[in-house]
C-alpha cells in the first residue's frame, strides 16, 4: 500500500531529497559549497580555505607525479612496471578528486584546481630546465681602473 508523501520529501526513485540542498548548474562565488562529502567544508570560512588549499595541492600533485623520475637501469622490469602503475593509479585518483571538486561549480574551487595544475607544471618544468641548462660561472665585477690596467 502506497503511503502519501509530502511534496519535495522524496523523488520518484525513492531517494530522500533535502529541500535545503542547492545544486548549482553554473559557476557561483561563495564559501557555501559541498566538496567530496556531505557537509564538508560546510559554512565555515576556515574550512573553505582548507578545501581551497587541498584542491590546489591535489592539482599540483597530479602534475608533479606526471614526471616520475627514471628508476635505476638495473631495476627489475616488473618492479619498474609496478612502480609506474602505482604512481599512475595515484595520479588518476587525484585527478578524479579534482574533477569532482570542480563539479561543485564553485568559482573559488575551480580557481584552486587550475592554479594547482599551473603551479605543479611550473615546478616540473623549472626542475627540468634547471637540470638541462648549465649555469654560467658568475662574472667578476671589474672596475674602470682594472680595465685600464688590463689594457696597459
Taking the chain (152 residues) in consecutive chunks of 10 residues, what is each chunk's mean pLDDT?
A: 50 49 75 82 87 96 87 86 92 95 91 96 89 68 65 62
Phi-psi region of 71 (alpha: psi -120 to 50; beta: other; left: phi over 0): beta
Cell output for 60 = 599540483
Q: What pTM was computed for the model?
A: 0.68
* Number of CB atoms found within 10 A of residue 56's CB: 22
Residue 75 within a domain? yes
Residue 16 within a domain? no
Domain that holds residue 51: 33-128
Residue 64 within a domain? yes
Question: How far is Cα 107 from Cα 115, in angstroms, rounded to an integer?
Answer: 12
Residue 1 within a domain? no
Question: Count of domains in the chain?
Answer: 1
The candidate with the shortest Cα–Cα distance to 70, out of 87, 58, 57, is 87
For the chain, the maximum distance between any two Cα atoms, rounded to a whole number of angstroms, is 112
pLDDT in tens, 30-73: 888 888 888 778 788 888 999 999 999 999 999 999 987 777 88
* Number of CB atoms found within 10 A of residue 67's CB: 14
Residue 86 within a domain? yes
Task: Name the one residue in this structure whose C-alpha cell is 559554512.
Answer: 43
Amino acid at each position: 500500500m502506497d503511503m502519501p508523501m509530502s511534496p519535495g520529501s522524496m523523488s520518484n526513485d525513492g531517494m530522500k531529497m533535502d529541500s535545503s540542498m542547492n545544486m548549482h548548474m553554473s559557476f557561483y562565488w561563495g564559501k557555501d559549497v559541498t566538496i567530496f562529502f556531505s557537509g564538508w567544508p560546510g559554512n565555515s570560512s576556515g574550512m573553505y580555505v582548507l578545501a581551497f588549499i587541498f584542491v590546489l595541492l591535489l592539482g599540483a600533485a597530479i602534475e608533479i607525479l606526471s614526471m616520475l623520475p627514471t628508476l635505476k637501469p638495473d631495476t627489475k622490469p616488473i618492479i619498474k612496471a609496478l612502480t609506474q602503475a602505482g604512481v599512475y593509479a595515484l595520479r588518476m585518483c587525484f585527478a578524479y578528486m579534482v574533477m569532482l571538486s570542480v563539479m561543485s561549480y564553485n568559482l573559488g574551487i575551480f580557481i584552486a584546481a587550475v592554479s594547482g595544475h599551473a603551479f605543479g607544471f611550473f615546478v616540473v618544468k623549472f626542475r627540468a630546465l634547471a637540470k638541462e641548462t648549465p649555469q654560467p660561472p658568475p662574472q667578476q665585477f671589474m672596475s674602470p681602473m682594472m680595465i685600464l690596467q688590463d689594457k696597459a
